[in-house]
Amino acid sequence: MKRDELWNAGIGAVVTIVLSFTGFSALLGGGVAGYLQDVPPKRGAKTGAISGGIAVIPILLVFVVGFGLFLGQPSALGIPGGLELAIIFLVMFPLLFAWTIGLSAVGGYLGAYLRSNV
């Protein structure tokens, strides 16, 4: 991986985080990363996926902090604590990560395609 690829992926991750209030911020962030990379579309998809992976880190930190707060009151919801943890770790984390990284890869492909054909 080239240094500029990581830099462009970082810029795309920042765009993803800043626009996180939209439903398609990962697509836009990946698109920016792929557009900046100036490579064929397949390579742009890789850069977009890296961008999504970087953007997932703050999301993971928020979940870790929330998990820590949750452990302080495991029976606050009236459901056994293990059930919530199983849902969070086995369902929600993988879906969120796959969604963010997948949309970023699609955005990277589209951004690189746009750059190479316009």
For residue 79, what are the domain limits? 3-117
Q: Which residues, in sequence order, are CB contacts of 57 under 8 Å at separation 6+?
A: none
- On whether the CB atoms of residues 16 and 25 are closer than 8 A, the answer is yes
- pLDDT band at 56, cuts 50/70/90? very high
Which is more confidently placed, 26 or 88?
26
* pTM, entire model: 0.81
Question: How many CA atoms lie within 13 Å of 2's alpha carbon, on the beta-carbon side?
Answer: 10
- pLDDT band at 59, cuts 50/70/90? confident
Locate tokens 């979940």: which residue?
A: 63
Of the listed ranges 1-10, 15-24, 40-49, 62-71, the least confidently predicted one is: 62-71
Ranges of H-type helices in the chain = 3-18, 25-37, 41-72, 81-87, 93-117
Which pLDDT score, from 0 to 100, does residue 71 have? 66
Read off the pLDDT of residues 27-40 as tens digits, 9 standing for 90 and up.
Answer: 999 999 999 988 88
Domain count, the chain: 1
Residue range 21-31: average pLDDT?
Answer: 92
Read off the pLDDT of residues 69-107 as tens digits, 9 standing for 90 and up.
Answer: 766 665 655 666 667 767 777 788 888 889 999 999 999
Locate tokens 């990962």: which residue?
A: 26
Residue range 6-13: average pLDDT?
Answer: 94
CA distance 74 to 112: 46
